[in-house]
A = this chain, B = another copy of it.
């Protein structure tokens, strides 16, 4: 009997009626003869509300205790969903991440799954239960509650699909698939039938909010077919798979943007070996993920180092940078919250020239200034002013002829 893992995010379980809708999705698959595992997030804004509650006590609560606090959000949802499925006449059983054997490292609030014991899961599935698992959470080997960071429920779902060798991991969202650009910005954006893990990885990490990048990594590593689809209908969404390209001449898959970045610049850094290693080593030690890094070799043996972090991490990154700047004798630290990143992604890019030029020209034609540039084999990203994002995305989408019905 095939196994399917379904994941529903916070907006899909925001109230009892929506939870009943999720119950029906699970029961439909169960009736079709599959074993069903459902992974859910906290209801609506529960996580944010709990974080706000903690902030009423202190601005810097202990991460261990925050994990204890916010992991209750998913626990509420799993119980509610089990009750809903049972009320419709089917057997269901809910489990927290710790109960179901999701073991993580001990980085509270950003824990990584180290392994999953599938024994309990298989036993409950074989007993005829629809099994409901709290997303976003796990426990350390010392039985401490951890959470996986924002979007961690996607990772829980794909990781469970991997250990259970599920046929597919359905990620239900409030959009019906992965688009060539955000349809709210580009009305002509086109839904993709298939996309490769690598492209999805770039899109996810670049801010296309449909799928958390860590979940795509797990999907890629264990070759889990991921189906991004809408919880409001049964239309086929976008399949994320190993190789999605059907025709070699499709160069660019989509345009992504991310407003949640901020820039830090350490100005006047003495040009000696090991300085960059020190800066990014210390940021890494604090689990601050750095995205783009640019170093300008300046005059008089002084460099400027600029990098971007998520806006959430800006405060800590700045504090750390100022200490480091003092230690290494740099001149000053500057920062800019009003930036954003736009990117084009596509596997075809590897073997096509001119993609960067097309992108830069599209921005130049709209008089949008490029602050930083970074490239990989399958993407090109530009940091621009946050106010220019919508225009930039539309211009790039048009330049690469990604509109629905467009032909090259």
State the A residues within 8 Å of B (CB): 16, 19-20, 50, 53-54, 56-58, 61-62, 64-66, 68-69, 71-72, 75-76, 78-80, 82-84, 86-87, 93-94, 96, 99, 143, 145
Contact = CB atoms under 8 A, between A and B. Distances in A.
A61 B80 CA distance: 9
19 contacts: A16-B56, A50-B76, A53-B80, A54-B79, A54-B80, A57-B83, A57-B84, A57-B87, A58-B83, A65-B82, A66-B83, A68-B78, A68-B96, A69-B75, A69-B79, A71-B75, A75-B75, A99-B143, A99-B145
Contacts of A62: 82-83, 86
B94 A53 contact: no
A87 to B, nearest CB: 4
B61 A68 contact: no
B66 A79 contact: yes
Contacts of A72: 72, 75-76
- Count copies of this chain in the complex: 2
A76 B69 contact: yes
Contact of A57 (B19, B53, B75): B19
Interface of A is mostly: helix
Contacts of A78: 68
Contacts of A79: 54, 65-66, 68-69
Nearest to A67: B79
A19 B64 CA distance: 18
B143 A57 contact: no
Q: Which 3 A-B pairs have the closest CB atoms?
A: A69-B79, A72-B72, A58-B87
| Chain B CB within 10 Å, residue with most, of A53, A66, A79, A87 | A79
A143 B97 CA distance: 12
Given A54-B83, A68-B94, A69-B75, 15 more contacts: A16-B53, A57-B83, A57-B87, A58-B84, A61-B83, A65-B82, A65-B94, A68-B75, A68-B78, A68-B82, A68-B96, A69-B76, A69-B80, A72-B75, A99-B143
A57 B16 contact: yes
Contacts of A57: 16, 19-20, 80, 83-84, 87
A94 B71 CA distance: 13
Contacts of A19: 57
A66 B72 CA distance: 14
A96 B57 CA distance: 21
A143 B57 CA distance: 32
Nearest to A99: B143
Most buried by B among A50, A78, A87: A87
A47 to B, nearest CB: 12
A71 to B, nearest CB: 8
Contacts of A20: 57
